[in-house]
Amino acid sequence: MNAMKMDTATIDAKLAAFRARCSASGLRITPQRQEVYREMVRACDHPSAEMLHKRIVRRMPAVTLDTVYRTLGTLEAMGFVERVGAAGNSARYEANLTPHHHFVCKHCGDILDVFPGHFEPSGFARDLPKGCQLHSARVDMRGLCPKCARP
Ligand SMILES: [Zn+2]
């Protein structure tokens, strides 16, 4: 339903790019940082820091929720992950930076990716006030996911 799971080669390539950027910007490449990013790349459910932490402690019991929060902040500042319009109270994140929209289930909070079809960003430009330059556009749709819509 969500984006396809990524293969190991793609994940490794993304991690290598991350390590290269860390080195270039003088940021220490810690196992924790790599693990948070790896888990973000693998995730297709737009996890919150809490959701990520639960997955990471299984392999790295010493990683704290605070470390996950701080690492997500670092990754966001570096442009490796984006914050997704929060469905509930906690911010959700994703590492898939190809342009797409989101469908948020009002009942279970699941966030599904919707890839542009009818919603090409160029279509939005027409409706903008005169003089605006559009650089990106994202639609957050709300409703019930297939699981919750089932009677
Ligand atoms: Zn997404």
Cα 99 from Cα 49, distance rounded (Å): 22
The total number of structural domains in the chain stands at: 2
> How many Å lie between the centroid of ligand 1 and the Cα of residue 146?
17
Q: Work out the percent of the chain whose per-residue pLDDT is above 90.
A: 63
Question: Which of 1-10, 26-35, 52-61, 103-112 is least confident?
Answer: 1-10
Q: Mark whether 70 and 109 lie in a shared domain.
A: no
Closest CA to 46 of 115, 93, 95: 93
Has residue 2 been placed in a domain?
no
- Segment 65-90, tens digit of pLDDT: 999 999 999 999 999 999 986 556 67
Instruction: Give the residue with greater pLDDT, 137 vs 28.
Output: 28
88 Cα to the center of ligand 1, angstroms: 16
Quick one: 63 and 107 in the same domain? Answer: no
Task: Work out whether strand 101-105 and strand 140-143 pair parallel, antiparallel, or are unpaired.
Answer: parallel
- pLDDT, average across residues 4-13: 84
Q: What is the CATH number of the domain that holds 116?
A: 3.30.1490.190
Torsion of CA 90, 93, 99, 102, to 10 degrees: -40
pLDDT tens track for 12-38: 999 999 999 999 999 999 999 999 999
Query: Are residues 83 and 18 located together in one domain of the fold?
Result: yes
Mark the residues whose beta carbon lies below 5 A from ion ligand 1: 94, 113
Q: What is the CA(96)–ligand 1 centre distance, in A?
A: 6
Mean pLDDT for all residues in the chain: 88
Task: Give this prediction's pTM.
Answer: 0.81
Same domain, 41 and 114: no
Check whether residue 81 and residue 105 sit in a common domain. no
- When pLDDT is averaged across residues 139-151 and rounded to a whole number, the result is 91
Dihedrals phi, psi of 133, to nearest 5 degrees: -110, 120
Length of the chain: 151
Residue 137 within a domain: yes
Query: 108 lies in which domain range?
Result: 101-149
Please give the distance, rounded to the nearest whole angstrom, from the Cα atom of residue 136 to the centre of ligand 1: 14
Q: What is the pLDDT of residues 117-130, one digit of tens each?
A: 666 666 777 888 99
Q: Same domain, yes or no, for 13 and 77?
A: yes
SS3 114: strand
Q: How many angstroms is it from 83 CA to the middle of ligand 1?
A: 10
CATH code for the domain of 21: 1.10.10.10
